[in-house]
């Protein structure tokens, strides 16, 4: 039965890779309306005092409308009466600041997908941090939660991203998960391109998690417990560079944590094939891959949980 299951699973994957419905156009990021595109892509500005989050008082996390990356905490939001949502600080590493072409203002964009957010101003003395991120509501998504939520992001590759997402969605403290491609050299990769094994990209999972509920170390341990990290040529029946086991660390602390866990596994006698790689740009996969097993009422065919730690 196990052999039959593997054959069926491999056939399912092959069909998904070679017979993709052409009516489903690849969507690297969330689909935007024409109005959202004018601001997020065209670097426009929504009318003052009209945005959804201008007078919004909810507690939680503000995400990028285009890619779901966490940007701001509600604790950093304040009322500047300027007509747009104002924040005096961003989540570390979430925002890129660069001068406008005319040098008059400093633009702020999402560090993950380059979506236009607005502009940042200094020296206005609205708060002790003396900083005001003036952000378009239309560039944001809001996830309600505790006001002391402290989000961080982790990126893992462990074979077919359907199964990886299936397991990580079960963890308490995980805010959101997104399947996609990373580690390679091809811009805007499609699923068919990644399947060729020539893009350098791996199928990966981006995990946004609340550090007050779950640690990066626990996520890493769970990563190793939900796939065969000793397999050197893929994962289960899925063979190829795009299915290799890898941890894409975003900080030195993440790197040190993952290396510590790999050392523990090595001392237990495991031959760890997992690569340690610095994080690169994460490209969101097509919509039909997101929450694949949840949508189709199925379970992973090449991932299984095995307690190790």
67 and 84, same domain (yes or no):
yes
96 and 130, same domain (yes or no):
yes
Q: Mean pLDDT over residues 196-207, rounded?
A: 95
pLDDT at 9 over 80: no
pLDDT at 13 over 80: no
Which residues, including other chains, have CB under 8 Å from residue 308's CB and lie 6 or more apart? Answer: 221, 224, 225, 265, 268
Asked whether the whole model's pTM tops 0.85, one would answer: no
Annotated catalytic residue within 113, 160, 195, 302 = 160
157 and 221, same domain (yes or no):
yes
Unique residue bearing structure tokens 């601001």 = 39
Count of domains in the chain?
2
Query: Is residue 110 flagged as an active site residue?
Result: no
Q: Give me the pLDDT at residue 298, please.
A: 87
Chosen domain end from 81, 114, 144: 144
Q: Give me the pLDDT at residue 59, please.
A: 86
213 and 84, same domain (yes or no):
no
156 and 268, same domain (yes or no):
yes
Which residues, including other chains, have CB under 8 Å from residue 55's CB and lie 6 or more apart? Answer: 79
Q: Are 275 and 245 in contact (CB under 8 A)?
A: yes
Q: Mean pLDDT over residues 301-305, rounded?
A: 90
pLDDT at 8 over 50: no
61 and 101, same domain (yes or no):
yes
Question: Which CATH number covers residue 94?
Answer: 2.170.150.20
Confirm whether 253 is domain-assigned.
Answer: yes
Confirm whether 231 is domain-assigned.
Answer: yes
User: Which DSSP helix (H) or strand (E) runs through 32?
Assistant: none
Domain of 80, in residue numbers: 34-144
Confirm whether 7 is domain-assigned.
Answer: no
Confirm whether 280 is domain-assigned.
Answer: yes
Q: How far apart are CA 38 and CA 65, in angstroms?
A: 13
Max Cα-Cα span within the chain: 69
Q: Mean pLDDT over residues 81-109, rounded?
A: 92
Confirm whether 19 is domain-assigned.
Answer: no
Confirm whether 2 is domain-assigned.
Answer: no
Q: How far apart are CA 210 and CA 174, in angstroms?
A: 6
Which residues, including other chains, have CB under 8 Å from residue 25's CB and lie 6 or more apart? Answer: 286
154 and 289, same domain (yes or no):
yes
Q: Give me the pLDDT at residue 11, please.
A: 37
Structure tokens, 131: 């900083």
Confirm whether 140 is domain-assigned.
Answer: yes
181 and 249, same domain (yes or no):
yes
Enter the DSSP assignment of 289: G
Annotated catalytic residue within 64, 67, 134, 302 = 134
72 and 160, same domain (yes or no):
no
Query: Is residue 67 flagged as an active site residue?
Result: no
171 and 252, same domain (yes or no):
yes
């Amino acid at each position: 039965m196990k052999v039959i299951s593997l054959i069926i699973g491999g056939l399912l994957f092959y069909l998904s890779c070679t017979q993709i419905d052409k009516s489903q156009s690849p969507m690297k990021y969330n689909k935007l309306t024409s109005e959202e595109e004018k601001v997020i892509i065209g670097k426009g500005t929504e009318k003052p005092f009209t945005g959804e989050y201008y007078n919004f008082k909810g507690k939680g996390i503000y995400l990028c409308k285009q890619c779901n990356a966490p940007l701001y905490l509600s604790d950093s939001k304040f009322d500047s009466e300027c007509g747009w949502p104002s924040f005096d600080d961003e989540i570390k590493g979430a925002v890129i600041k660069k001068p406008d072409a005319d040098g008059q203002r400093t633009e702020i964009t999402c560090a993950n997908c380059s979506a236009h957010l607005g502009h940042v101003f200094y020296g206005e003395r609205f708060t002790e941090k003396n900083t005001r991120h003036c952000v378009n509501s239309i560039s944001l998504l809001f996830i309600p939660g505790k006001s002391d939520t402290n989000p961080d992001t982790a990126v893992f590759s462990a074979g077919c991203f359907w199964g990886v997402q299936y397991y990580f969605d079960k963890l308490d403290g995980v805010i959101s998960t997104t399947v996609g491609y990373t580690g390679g050299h091809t811009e805007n990769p499609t699923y068919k391109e990644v399947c060729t094994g020539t893009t350098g990209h791996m199928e990966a999972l981006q995990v946004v998690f609340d550090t007050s509920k779950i640690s990066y170390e626990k996520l890493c341990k769970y990563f190793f417990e939900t796939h065969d990290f000793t397999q050197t040529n893929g994962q289960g029946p899925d063979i190829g560079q795009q299915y290799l086991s890898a941890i894409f660390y975003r900080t030195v602390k993440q790197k040190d944590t993952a290396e510590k866990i790999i050392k523990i596994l090595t001392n237990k006698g495991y031959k760890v094939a997992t690569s340690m790689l610095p994080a690169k740009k994460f490209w969101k996969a097509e919509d039909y891959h997101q929450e694949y097993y949840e949508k189709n009422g199925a379970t992973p065919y090449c991932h299984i949980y095995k307690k190790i730690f």
